[in-house]
Amino acid sequence: MTTDPLPIGISAGEPAGIGPDLCLQLAHQFPDAPLVIAADATLMRARARLLGLPYPFLEVDPWEGTLPHPRRPLLWHHPLVVPARAGHLEPRNSRAVLNALDSLTDACQAGHLAALVTAPLQKSVIVEAGIPFTGHTEYLAARLGVSHVVMMLVGGGLRVALATTHLPLSQVPSAITQEVLDKTLTLLHHELKFRFGCPSPRILVAGLNPHAGENGHLGQEEITVISPAIARAQAAGIDAQGPFPADTLFLPERLEGSDAVLVMYHDQGLPVLKRASFGSGVNITLGLPILRTSVDHGTALDRAGTGNLDPGSLQAALALARSLAQGTP
């Protein structure tokens, strides 16, 4: 006797961007997949016409706490306030967009969905609507009551985790504390071991300053914060090494035998990963009580409704979510 896998929930993201287009392409590519896509049904029908695609979804509305095991992609209708147009941001729709994300998050937490996959949101328009928002990672952590999460991107043979996420560069040094690094290294070690199946995870840690501070001549953070955190991790049985200068950390000979790299801020490590895997990279939030993956790109407003897009990252995010949900990373 076999048990059907739980569906994967996908939020279509910013309605003016390429998220709806990607979801439509995904539904056509996997017509029998157990997917639940949260979006406005009118938007999805209009975007399908714009792209010249048949409408592929069975609509479910309202949510009643249970789902059939779908034999085709489902559309969980979340109405927008005003009609969406490809490429045109509309702040009045921001709350509705977050409502769709909230519904899928709650369904994952309740055990109705195996994982959450997110298409990109436009941070600026949500903020313009008067809603504090710095990104999916922080938003989901707050909604799920988690005090510490780690953003990690996977692709091109790399796993790159971030000590800080969406912060202005001027705020990064003060945000990198020993407590933050202690929690980050502990969580990263745990997730690599128990979610990604690395029996003895080896983590390489970047310095913050050029040349990893040059023995204090180019900054003190490596001496006062990062090195002590690495030492405490090692004492706790975590194989963390560093801090290494970021400009040579990603050389193949340095990476050999490692399972992940921990960088200090967003643009220190992600340009390297995206150069190696853009269009097929996956963002995963470590430390949530649910499994969440996402694309490695933005809303691409100029491509919405044109058909000129690559669904590879969403496909990869779905594939990783499914494999992690099944325990086969």
Q: Is the peptide bond before 289 cis (omega within 30 degrees of 0)?
A: no
Binding region: 136-137, 166, 211, 266, 274, 283, 292
202 close to 257: Cβ distance less than 8 angstroms? yes
> Cα separation of 14 and 81, whole Å?
13
10 close to 36: Cβ distance less than 8 angstroms? yes
Binding region for substrate: 136-137, 274, 283, 292
Binding region for a divalent metal cation: 166, 211, 266
What amino acid occupies position 318? L
CA angle 257, 263, 264 (to 5 degrees): 155
7 close to 38: Cβ distance less than 8 angstroms? no
Spatial CA neighbour of 13 closest among 130, 115, 116, 160 = 116
> Cα separation of 219 and 240, whole Å?
21
Q: Dihedral through CA 49, CA 119, CA 101, CA 21, nearest 10?
A: 0
Residues sharing a CB contact under 8 Å with residue 309, sequence separation 6 or more, in sequence order: 18, 21, 22, 25, 300, 303
